[in-house]
Structure 1
Amino acid sequence: MKDELYSLTVDAELAGRQIKDVLQKHLKMSRKVIRKLTQGQGVLLNGEPTWTSWRLAEGDQLRLLIPAEESVDILPEPIPFQQVYEDEDVLVVEKRAGLIVHPTSGHWTGTLANGVVYDWQQRGIVARFRPVHRIDQWTSGLLVIAKNHHAHQFLSRQLMARTIDRAYEAIVHGVLAQDDGLIVGPIGRSDDDFRVRVVRDDGQEASTEYRVTERFAFGTQIELKLHSGRTHQIRVHMKHIGHPLFGDAMYGTTDDADWIERQALHAKRLGFVHPRTGEKMLFESPLPEEMNALAQKLRRSDEGRSDTRV
């Protein structure tokens, strides 16, 4: 079974160019995807398989068929999730706090992947679960999943180039003095616990930009952008400067159960260039109920203070 990746009629601009040149420069396909197309005889010119070295003529019909893939290693389960947007190439979801994105050792079921694969199976969609990026288990917010190999390669290149627009909202302990700032600190594994990351000289380069959106007597609400994509980066950097997230069981220093029962971090904005249309896509997600409730508790705790708003 094959899925149609592209179908186009060759115009004067593309006439005379080799197919491989059109695939690489016009359609922005990676060499790996092109190799998969040719190996599966998925490059059709006027209905017949052809070589990518063939030169196109105006009016030619070019179709690209890629083998359909399934996530055969992921058990379909009826796990509810919130779909924000979906087309033949991408699925954008809003992940709830507590839901793991992908099966891992010790968590083979009950993940977002299990739920998405089940939903696709119920609707007759043949696709492989390919998350372009990850969100921590106890972080909520927007996540994009590629539905075919080309979409994943295309979006992954944007992720590597840091051109995917990702913004987070967090509520941290303590009052940040500056309205904005850049935290720079290499991140690596802790010597004491392999699950934990710390800022250390021999770690991987990492930087996080923040902007204060509201101050409270005992905390600060901030918007953050990542200039690198290290594991637990926001959580590690905020702890490093003395302002750990509320509800962060791994990096926090206090019991926040009376304030919030999850870490106060939400992926609120996601933007990328669509792998097929080239259109700029932008999605925004409101602050979840638990974080709104935390902000309300913090506001009540500093009633009478007129200088706590930015």
Structure 2
Amino acid sequence: MSYYEPLVYIVPEEEEGFLLKTVLQKRLMVSRKLLSRIKLTEQGIMVNGERKYINVKVNAGDRVEIRMEAEVSEDILPQDMPLHILHEDEQLLILAKDAGIIVHPTHGHYMNTIANGVVYHWQQMGVSCRFRPVHRLDQETSGVLCIAKNPYVHQQISEQMIRHEVKKEYLAFVWGTVAEPKGTITGPIDRDPEQPHVRIVTPDGYSAVTHYEVVEQFASAALVRIWLETGRTHQIRVHMRHIGHPLLGDKMYTLPQFEAEAEGLEASGCLSRQALHAHRLGFQHPGTREWTEYRAPLPGDLSELHRWLQEKS
């Protein structure tokens, strides 16, 4: 049986006499679900190299180790494809995702996904990991994507997201002159009852909070920085449309008053997708416990769009 690299914790003096269970849940923040799973593993919980039950007391200086059985994504076919790796360590893989590629295989779409490329990459490295994206990006959205390499890391970052401690920052090009240089949009979001694949702002929807700030104003559009408190499907696209500034290239959420500008953009040939880019992702690294941030620069198509807008202004 093979295992991921163990998570190690040295018990400090002030925790002398604590129950091992308390150390695991309150200091290492292991969830009950994950703890139950680890307990079933032969070498799942070790203290000073010996397997222990979680109701024993620990001493200062004890070396606590958590081992999780290594896994692979048997249902994902490996595929050699380019990956733009921003960072990789024993716990995380951070990518700059291209637009036009989906993150995970779906029914009828089993290849040409980020998952296929990552599984191949790990296979070539001799690494056994299950593909666990911590979050997802729409097919046409580019930018930073975080993939956890074991269930503990996935749990830790997911809980940071639930507590709104993860910083997700986007860059978007939107139509129109944005009157307020910065603002917050709080319209609840839910499915459109007439078009289930479309989201709308509705009083009965789920709470959604989007903050924005204008970075650069052009003649007929603007570059805005956006950061989120919630993560609803299509949240940025829906909220920016709601305040009258839909994303360039976003045919699903466009507005009639921008049809002429949209036709000009399409004729230019410099953009073939929604102009949204996940620019920055920040969180507390589950391994080092330090705040860490990863950034992906604007990809080629959005850089070209930026120049086109500047030339038209």
The two structures have a TM-score, normalised by structure 2, of: 0.92
Match of 1:171 in 2: 173
Q: Say which is worse superposed, 151-160 or 48-57, in terms of deviation.
A: 48-57
Deviation at 1:86, TM superposition (A): 0.9
Match of 2:100 in 1: 98
**Which of 143, 150, 153 is the equivalent residue of 2:152?**
150
Match of 1:284 in 2: 295
Match of 2:85 in 1: 83
Conserved? CA contact 1:79–1:111, under 8 Å: no
**3-state SS of 1:196 partner:** strand
Distance 2:308 2:245 in 1: 18
The total of aligned residue pairs comes to 302
Structure 1 residue runs of 4 or more that deviate by more than 6 Å after TM superposition: none
**What letter is aligned with 1:277?**
T
Conserved? CA contact 1:173–1:219, under 8 Å: yes
**Which of 44, 60, 63 is the equivalent residue of 1:61?**
63
Distance 1:65 1:177 in 2: 54
Q: Judging changes above 3 Å, is the alpha-carbon distance between structure 1 residues 196 and 20 closer, same or farther for their aligned structure 2 residues? A: same
1:273 and 2:284 correspond: yes
Match of 1:206 in 2: 208
Match of 1:307 in 2: none
**3-state SS of 2:147 partner:** strand
Deviation at 1:63, TM superposition (A): 2.2
Unaligned ranges ≥5, structure 2? none
Distance 1:245 1:204 in 2: 22
Conserved? CA contact 1:44–1:62, under 8 Å: yes
Match of 1:22 in 2: 23
**3-state SS of 2:110 partner:** coil
1:134 and 2:136 correspond: yes
**3-state SS of 1:290 partner:** helix
The structure in which a higher percent of residues are helix is 2
Deviation by residue 1:161-218 (Cα, 9 ceiling, x = unmatched): 1110111000111111111111121111112322111112221111211100111111
Q: Say which is worse superposed, 146-155 or 17-26, in terms of deviation.
A: 17-26
Distance 1:9 1:238 in 2: 48
Distance 1:186 1:59 in 2: 50
Q: What is the RMSD of the two structures over their aligned residues, measured on CA atoms?
A: 1.5
Deviation at 1:73, TM superposition (A): 1.3
Identity %: 45
Match of 1:70 in 2: 72
Conserved? CA contact 2:170–2:227, under 8 Å: yes
Distance 2:66 2:174 in 1: 49
Match of 1:2 in 2: 3
Unaligned ranges ≥5, structure 1? 303-310
Conserved? CA contact 1:4–1:63, under 8 Å: no
Match of 2:253 in 1: 251
**What letter is aligned with 1:14?**
E
Distance 1:33 1:212 in 2: 42
**What letter is aligned with 1:72?**
E
